[in-house]
Amino acid sequence: MVLSYLGFASTNNLYRNLPVSELVKHALKNNEGTLAENGALVINTGKYTGRSPNDRFIVRQPSVEGRINWGNVVKAVDEETFNNLHQRVVRYLEDKDLYIFDGFVGALREYRMPIRVISEFASQAMFANQLFIRPTTEDLEDFQPGFTVLAAPGFKANGKEDGVNSEVFIIINFEKKMVLIGGTQYSGEIKKSIFSVMNYLLPLQGVFPMHCSANIGANGDTAIFFGLSGTGKTTLSADPERRLIGDDEHGWCDQGIFNFEGGCYAKTINLSQEKEPEIYNAIRFGTILENVVLKENKETDYDDASLTENTRAAYPLHYVSNIEPSGIGSHAKTVIFLTADAFGVMPPVAKLTKEGAMYHFLSGYTSKLAGTERGITEPEATFSTCFGEPFMLMKPTVYAELLGKCIEEHGSDVYLINTGWSGGGYGVGKRIDLTYTRAMVKAALEGSLKDVEYVQDPIFNVAVPTECPGVPSEILNPINTWADKEAYQQKAKELANEFRKNFTKFDASAEIVAAGPKVE
């Protein structure tokens, strides 16, 4: 294999698309990790146990200049900075054994992109093998990467001196079709960099890229689930009665819904076989565990957050028992937005108009809880545009308009489901019972909410059903669950104002703005 297109003058051993068993052997031999009692490869990623959002950049170039939503989230770097770091990373890697994964992102062949991941670590090549779409032998014969990820965890930048913010850098160069990663062993940077690339390229082809999970029913009906961390996206889409298309990244095109990936990257903190059997049972030989603590007998301790709350498992989709092997589904019959409202004021379930869907998609609301981050002592409203702001490189309205187009063309029903608190906010009320939430999701998927009576929530401006199979009707209107009605009104208006304040940054139509919360 020749890597001269990346600037390599010479290379040591190149290990291309090794079988997982061989990658495990190399990782153990290189002291990259340990085998757990259940057979999984356990990796400690060191100082960086999650993504480094302040260290992610896009190279500023004429071809992308007018399309990228530059700002504090999507930061620019010049070509000279990229070229300097690229040359030094190549020199750093030239005398090392390199592990290469050649494969694909995108289950639908029309929009499939060939990718190459090169790393100094066998465990990162194994991560790429398990998370992306694995090639056939024939695919590898004349393989040409559409994008290359060059990952050098052991190379540290000099921060501002090198034109970046720290020793870590994740830089996407669209003209050179490269991602350059240094200073961090956290493999999520590889996954999310490629997701970011797809989120830029696909809208140019009229495809709607989505940070969502998706599943398909026995009748072939597809559902998609949007939601930020802690809202229940993975839990609620893992339905024993429906086949999982994918748990995180999808596209919506003229042919339907398709998964970008070939694997899952699941959180494992407090994981139990009882509550999340699909994830628990997928953790075995061939799975990579990041920052999971092992007991003396090599058993996993999923409750131990001493390294990080962000413990992860990376495994191929076929480790899950009930999947859609093609990774493809029909157009979404049902779209579900999940939020975990810790203030206890949003309805447990509401039906959205197309404009309402675009409003809540642009908002991407959930709440951070006390204790989840340093300095947070009370619940805080948090908004992540398009339910994935760090990865959506274009202007938010580009993605919202694609959503609106898909909903309109395919007659999708859209529901907002609150998996948060009822009867009061966090510390006063209690989390909505998961059995009720599952019943709401089921009713939405089966069409049971189509013909029931609705009332308009006067503050949040959404249509709330007066009944839902399997759910006590009194909890459907949140004010009914509060002992202090005035306290409810005050807190609901406070949250509505947070929505409106956040929405001022969008250049959205008057119809979309009017679909948001109303405060007198």
| Structure confidence by residue, pLDDT tens digits, 59-87 | 999 999 999 999 999 999 999 999 999 99
pLDDT digits (tens, 9 = 90+) for 47-59: 999 999 999 999 9
Q: Angle formed by the axes of helices 20-29 and 122-131, to 10°? A: 150
pLDDT score, position 369: 62
CATH tag, 263-319? 2.170.8.10
Cβ contact 223:78 at 8 Å: no
Return d(Cα 47, Cα 185) in angstroms, integer. Answer: 9
Structure tokens that stand for 97 in this block: 């054994």
Is the pLDDT at 343 greater than 50? The verdict is: yes
Confidence category of residue 8, pLDDT binned at 50, 70, 90: very high
Q: 304 phi and psi, to 5 degrees? A: -85, 110
pLDDT score, position 333: 98
pLDDT digits (tens, 9 = 90+) for 143-164: 999 999 999 999 999 999 999 9
pLDDT score, position 520: 67
Confidence category of residue 379, pLDDT binned at 50, 70, 90: confident
CATH tag, 12-30+52-205? 3.40.449.10
Query: DSSP class of residue 451?
Result: S
Section 301-315 average pLDDT: 95
Is the domain defined by 331-514 classed in CATH 3.90.228.20? yes
Return d(Cα 65, Cα 232) in angstroms, integer. Answer: 36
Return d(Cα 357, Cα 335) in angstroms, integer. Answer: 9
Query: DSSP class of residue 121?
Result: -
Return d(Cα 364, Cα 382) in angstroms, integer. Answer: 8
Is the pLDDT at 102 greater than 80? The verdict is: yes
In this prediction, what percent of the chain has a pLDDT beyond 70? 98
Confidence category of residue 180, pLDDT binned at 50, 70, 90: very high
Q: Which of 230, 287, 331 is closest to 27 using CA atoms?
A: 287
Is the pLDDT at 121 greater than 80? The verdict is: yes
Is the pLDDT at 375 greater than 70? The verdict is: no
Confidence category of residue 181, pLDDT binned at 50, 70, 90: very high
In this prediction, what percent of the chain has a pLDDT beyond 90? 90
- State the Cα torsion 196-200-202-203 to the nearest 10°: 130
Section 466-490 average pLDDT: 96
> What's the distance, Cα to Cα, between the start and end of the chain in Å?
66
pLDDT digits (tens, 9 = 90+) for 413-426: 999 999 999 999 98
Q: Is the torsion defined by CA of 440, 441, 446, 451 positive or negative?
A: positive
Is the pLDDT at 16 greater than 70? The verdict is: yes
Least confident residue range of 212-216, 228-232, 452-456: 228-232
Confidence category of residue 372, pLDDT binned at 50, 70, 90: very low
Strand extents, DSSP E, 129-242: 147-152, 169-173, 178-182, 208-216, 222-227
Structure tokens that stand for 99 in this block: 């592990």
Cβ contact 358:374 at 8 Å: no
Section 265-280 average pLDDT: 90
Return d(Cα 340, Cα 426) in angstroms, integer. Answer: 11
Mean residue pLDDT across the chain: 95
Catalytic residues, which ones?
Answer: 51, 192, 211, 229, 233-234, 248, 312
Section 497-518 average pLDDT: 96
Cβ contact 111:258 at 8 Å: yes
The pairing of strands 332-339 and 222-227 is parallel
The ranges of the chain annotated as CATH 2.170.8.10 are 263-319
Place of tokens 């975990």: 340
Section 328-343 average pLDDT: 97
**Cross-strand bridge partners of residue 102:** 116
Least confident residue range of 316-325, 326-335, 364-373: 364-373
Confidence category of residue 378, pLDDT binned at 50, 70, 90: low
The ranges of the chain annotated as CATH 3.40.449.10 are 12-30+52-205
Section 178-194 average pLDDT: 97
